[in-house]
Amino acid sequence: MNGQQKVTTVLAVVLGTVLATVMLNATDMSPEMTLAGGNRAAATETPFDASKGVAPTDFYTPPNPLPDQPPGSVLRAEPIKDAPEGAAAWRVLYMSSNNAGDPVAISALYVEPTTPPTTGSRFPLIGFAHGTTGVGRECGMSQAPFVDETPGNEYWRTLIGPMVGAGFAVVATDYEGMGAPGTATYLLRKQSYDVLDSLRAALELRPQRLDSLNLGVLGHSEGGYVALTTADMAADYAPELSIQGSVSQAPGGLPPIPAAINALLGSTGGDGPTPRSGYITDLTTSWNETYPDISTPEIWYTAEGKTAIPEAAKLCQGAQLAFLDQPFHYYFNNKVPIAMAEIPAIEQPLTQQSDIPILLQQGDEDTSVVPQLTRAMAIQGCALGDKIEYQAFPNDVHRSVQYTGRAYFLDWFSQRFSGAADTDYCRGW
């Protein structure tokens, strides 16, 4: 992309974001269904802080050179022996594509029920995109998903396990650079390749157990963003996959507006450590590695940060926050150049019309993902012609929406897989 194209992209998406915000303020945004929830205690229990990273074994070292095989090809798989009763699990290493479109190996967790399918003879398959657990190799879903306080266990308890219990098979990509080696990826559209190729890999691994005509995608937080981009990119990257719906819970994202980016670097409202240090560690590590011509350590980090942040980027979320024990601006500068807005402009989640129905779930008490931005994403998607259902949870915070939204999205998937009539998407918007 040349300079003029980048400027055009920035202006177009900024305009779209502004228009979406204006529409938000002038439109009846009543969701199809509003539920009370707020399981905040469960969302803050110790097992869910993703602090215990697990060093990758030799399983995660890909062949060198990589074989000449298409994306989604399975390189190897091994059973996970400590799967709980009712579930059978495997680690999978599969072929995918990096941000430049070159081959890369990525790892994933695959789990299926041990009980017979509830309908038909095969299981529907959900591709799961996890939320922020870090960007390091120890922080994926597949290393130790059934061990307390690991990144994989956090999402096994909250989302993957309940989907398996409901009769779905689930494949949860680790993302590039997590588990198997690769470039750090965080809030990048290319993470959709990771999800789409994990679906391909699961279908190759278990062809007699999976219903290839009933596929879905679900993600939370960082993964909520990926669930949106996957719906946006599936027709171009993996048109053969029969994805019947995509669920996005509290999707992360960043408007391509300089003021919004610099707001990330503003005051945190306190003089001590802050969780924001971890999020910005993951974001800047990803941008620095993916867009080195735009984003560099010198732009983002103080002298102390240049030493500390690369070390923190190796850790998983809970340990990362413990390691970054100084105030935010001990590590990060106060502002970045305007040109930095080019990156979120390129990486906006919804850019074209998709035929895949989308369910957006958002807690109104969420302080990690601003509800107004999620609603603006929904409006923009509807303006593109997407089929979006927006669901607000007035009493939920960032993590608790995983619990409160569960019954509804499980039923929503079942309806999509049964061929039920579509929801009245974008109603009243």
Q: Which of 1-10, 67-76, 257-266, 370-379 has the lowest mean pLDDT?
A: 1-10
- DSSP run (H or E) holding 179: none
Q: Is residue 427 included in any domain, yes or no?
A: no
Predicted local distance difference test score (pLDDT) of residue 6: 39
Q: Does one domain contain both 84 and 168?
A: yes
| Alpha carbons 43 and 41: distance in angstroms, whole number | 5
Judge whether 275 and 367 are in contact, CB under 8 Å. no
| Residue 265 and residue 413 in one domain | no
Say what the pLDDT of residue 37 is.
52
Shared-domain flag, residues 355 and 232: yes
Could you read off the pLDDT of 320-355 as tens digits, one per residue?
A: 989 999 999 999 999 999 999 999 999 999 999 999
Mapping DSSP onto H, E and C, the string for 371-394 reads HHHHHHHHHHHHHHCCCEEEEEEC
Residue 377 lies inside a defined structural domain of this protein: yes
Q: What pLDDT shows up at residue 216?
A: 98
Give the integer Cα–Cα distance in Å for 272 and 270: 6
- Verify that 207 and 78 share a domain, yes or no: yes
Q: What is the pLDDT of residue 3?
A: 42
Confidence tier at 427 by pLDDT (50, 70, 90): confident
pLDDT tens figures, 63-109 = 999 999 999 999 999 999 999 999 999 999 999 999 999 999 999 99
pLDDT for residue 8 is more than 60: no
User: Comparing 22 with 242, which gets the higher pLDDT?
Assistant: 242
Give 201-217 pLDDT, tens digit per residue: 999 999 999 999 999 99
Count of Cβ atoms closer than 10 Å to residue 65 Cβ: 7
Last residue of a domain, one of 344, 363, 397: 344
Could you give the number of structural domains in the chain?
2
**Domain shared by 114 and 226, yes or no:** yes
Per the domain annotation, does 57 fall within a domain?
Answer: yes
pLDDT(17) > 50: no
Which of helix, strand or coil describes residue 282?
A: helix
The pLDDT value given to residue 2: 44
Is the model more confident about 307 or about 397? 307
Instruction: State yes or no: pLDDT of 234 exceeds 50.
Output: yes
On the question of pLDDT at 254 being above 60, the answer is yes
Q: What residues make up the domain containing 324?
A: 3-28+255-344
In a domain, 321, yes or no: yes
Q: Mean pLDDT across the stretch 386-404?
A: 92
Tell me how far CA of residue 13 lies from CA of 262, 349, 352, 375, in angstroms.
18, 11, 12, 16
Mean pLDDT across the chain, nearest whole number? 89
Q: Taking Cα atoms as reference points, which of 214, 148, 163, 189 lies closest to residue 407?
A: 163
Q: How confident is the model at residue 189 (pLDDT cuts 50, 70, 90)?
A: very high
For the ranges 76-80, 260-264, 306-310, 419-423, the lowest mean pLDDT is seen at: 419-423
CATH number at residue 155: 3.40.50.1820
pLDDT top residue among 264 and 24: 264
Pairing label, strands 169-173, 123-129: parallel
pLDDT of residue 363: 93
Residues 262 and 223 in one domain: no
Q: What is the CA radius of gyration of the chain?
A: 20
* Domain annotation covers residue 428: no
Cα–Cα separations (whole angstroms), residue 11 to 292, 293, 370, 381 = 22, 20, 22, 18
For residue 429, tell me if it sits in a domain. no
The pLDDT of 371-386, averaged and rounded, is: 94
Shared domain check, 266 and 354? no
Tell me what pLDDT residue 349 has: 97
Residues 204 and 220 in one domain: yes
What is the structure's pLDDT at 43?
A: 57
CA distance 178 to 183: 9
List phi, psi (to 5°) of 16.
Answer: -60, -40
Q: What is the mean pLDDT of residues 167-175?
A: 98
Same domain, 224 and 265: no
Per residue in 108-149, pLDDT tens?
Answer: 999 999 999 988 889 999 999 999 999 999 999 999 999 998
Higher pLDDT, 9 or 390: 390
Tell which of 328, 344, 360 closes a domain: 344
Residue-wise pLDDT tens digits, 256-302:
888 888 888 887 777 788 889 999 999 999 999 999 999 999 999 99
State residue 19's pLDDT score.
34
311 & 197 share domain: no
**pTM of the shown model:** 0.91
Question: Does residue 34 belong to any structural domain of this protein?
Answer: no
Question: Does 120 map to a domain?
Answer: yes
Residue 226 sits in the same domain as residue 267: no
Same domain, residue pair 328 and 354:
no
Cα(316)–Cα(231) distance, integer angstroms? 28
* pLDDT score at 29: 32
Q: Letter for the amino acid at 236?
A: D
pLDDT of residue 59: 98
User: Higher confidence at residue 104 or residue 40?
Assistant: 104
User: Rounded CA gap, 26 and 6, in Å?
Assistant: 30
Examine the pLDDT at 7 and tell me if it is beyond 70: no
Q: How many residues does the chain have?
A: 429
Predicted local distance difference test score (pLDDT) of residue 262: 87
Last residue of a domain, one of 295, 328, 344: 344
